[in-house]
Structure 1
Amino acid sequence: MLTSLVVGVLLMNVFAAVLVVVRAPVYGARLYRPMLLNLVLSAAPLVVLGLAVVVLLPLVVVGTPRPVVWVVGAVLGLVWLLLLPNSGYLITELNLNHRREGERVPEWYDVLSVLVLAMSGVLTTVLNVFLVVLVALVVGGVDSAEPLTGTTARLLEGVLLLLVAFGIYLGRHVRLNSWDVKHPRHLVRKVLGHLRTPGALGNAIGFTLIGATFFALMYLVMIGPVVRGLVDVEQLRNMTGS
């Protein structure tokens, strides 16, 4: 189940990249490089998460003191969190702004391309959140699937999705990037200055809540059956083992 989920998300990202790349030679149009850059940035959180697994799991296995594991995990987790909105950001590319007058590209092709691009971002976001919940439980010493249905997991998922939605808002409307965190004072001034403009705070709250709700529903559709399956398999093994 989990393997199918990961493979499916990766294939959706590859499909999105292929559609962007082949558009140029097939229809004699220019290559729209910003879409490819956005896809690379969308995949970055998964790369960081993979690095975190490679680093953290051996530390847990060899019995490294918990404070050390949590510090390393917190640093990698912060990097991951700063990059995560780049995945969901692809939903804001659901438009045809890249079309140029005189290009022979059929409208249906571009409509499907941006739809695939947006969905790849949604799926990547959902997968990232689920995997980081799994990693957090493993690092915390949990060796059962049951906690995936618990309050702690739900709270973590909810907080992460709210942060993702707010990060997307900052990227689209304040034009911030993940690496702007290198200049925290400038970043804070820019965000506060934006939120003080008339109507901006309401728009930020509305976008964050609606965006987080959308991702939460997608999470429920995608991850709910996987979690239920993992719990059922574990219960079945416990029953047969006893």
Structure 2
Amino acid sequence: MIGQAIAVGGLGVLALNVYAVVLIVVRSRAWGTRLYRPMLLNVALSTIPILLAIGMIVGTLVLLAAEPGRVRLPVAYLIVSGLAFVVFFPNSVYLITELNFSHRRSDDAVPLWFDIVMTLTLTLSGIVNAIVALAFVQTFAIVFRAAGEIPATPPWWSWAVTAGVLVLGCLGVYLGRRLRFNSWDAARPWLVVSRLVAYLRPRGRMRELVRFVGAHAVLLVVLYVMVYFPIYVLVIGWALDSG
């Protein structure tokens, strides 16, 4: 039963992403407007955190199986892949900002209702991708640290890490929207820091950053806890009862 639920959930995530792409293409074909390629790119980028989370889990398990009893290499891989996950995680959260309708022109023939459905689907796909990716990471971290005795509820430290990732993700969205940085710019951290410091010097900019990150982070934390906690408790409870 749990396997079927996971399969249906996975298909639902895939369907939501595909539907977002379909709506973007239909908008262009049905009303003869320019295909808004940045949206298509953003949908693709928003799936990267899921792929990185899977790569982190599978890679760590393979390394552990290859050399039982030796954890130095698996831990090193886990740290590096974890950093990559944090760097690319904002790509999923970023789709929230599509709700500003920056793609829409005043003379567009596209009905407003269609753009509302399209942007809402796009935003939801990003949020769902973020939740799924982070859920993979949090669950694996709990299991990895538990060493065989999985807690019935997520421990506090896993929530702290999760909250930190969400806040950093929202900060990444701010950097992307305001300073046009992307995940690859993490390879030049001093450039990012210097430009951010210069940007925040004018009065009111720091307040804007705090409000932007705070508002988005609270929304994502509420949504994430609302989805992850009951699923974790139900799945782990089922597993413990079955065992």
Query: Above 0.5 in TM-score?
Result: yes
Match of 1:120 in 2: 125
In the alignment, the residues of structure 2 paired with residue 167 and residue 43 of structure 1 have an alpha-carbon distance, to the nearest angstrom, of: 16
1:27 aligns with 31
User: Unaligned stretches of 5+ in structure 2?
Assistant: none
Please list every run of 5 or more consecutive structure 1 residues that lacks an aligned counterpart in the other structure.
Answer: none
Is 1:136 the counterpart of 2:146 in the alignment?
Answer: no
Corresponding position: 1:165 with 2:170 = yes
Q: CA deviation at 1:64?
A: 5.6
Tell me, yes or no, if structure 1 residue 57 matches structure 2 residue 25.
Answer: no
- Indicate whether 1:218 and 2:226 are aligned: no
Amino acid aligned to 2:191: H
Structure 1 stretches of 4+ moved >4 Å: none
Aligned to 1:37: 41
How many residue pairs align between the two structures?
238
TM-fit CA distance, 1:145: 4.3
Tell me if structure 1 keeps the 8 A contact 2:152–2:236.
no
Contact 1:23 1:29 in 2 (8 A): yes
Q: Which moved more, 1:60-69 or 1:15-24?
A: 60-69
Aligned amino acid, residue 217 of structure 2: A
| CA distance 1:39–1:208, change in 2 (3 Å) | same
Task: Show CA shifts across 1:13-47 (max 9, x none).
Answer: 11111111122112222111010011111111112
Q: What do you get for the CA RMSD once the two structures are aligned?
A: 1.8
Question: What pairs with 1:133-212 in structure 2 (closer than 5 Å)?
Answer: 133-140=138-145, 142-146=147-151, 148-212=153-217
Q: What is the Cα deviation at residue 219 of structure 1?
A: 0.7
What is the distance in 2 between the residues matched to 1:148 and 1:174?
A: 39
TM-score by length of 2: 0.90
Counterpart secondary structure, 2:79:
helix
Alpha carbons of 1:203 and 1:217: their partners in 2 closer, same or farther (altered >3 Å)?
Answer: same
Aligned to 2:76: 71
Q: Which amino acid aligns with 1:210?
A: A
1:111 Cα offset (Å): 0.9
| Secondary structure of the structure 2 residue equivalent to 1:46 | helix
Please tell me whether the aligned partners of residues 154 and 229 of structure 2 are also in contact (alpha carbons under 8 angstroms).
Answer: no
* Residue number in structure 1 paired with 2:104: 99
Contact 2:24–2:118 (8 Å) recurs in 1:
yes
What does the per-residue CA deviation read over 1:130-150, in whole Å, with 9 as the maximum and x for residues that have no partner? 111122234335345426521
Give me the identity figure in percent. Answer: 32
8 A contact 2:49–2:88 mirrored in 1: yes
Which amino acid is 1:132 matched to?
Answer: V
Amino acid at match of 2:130: T
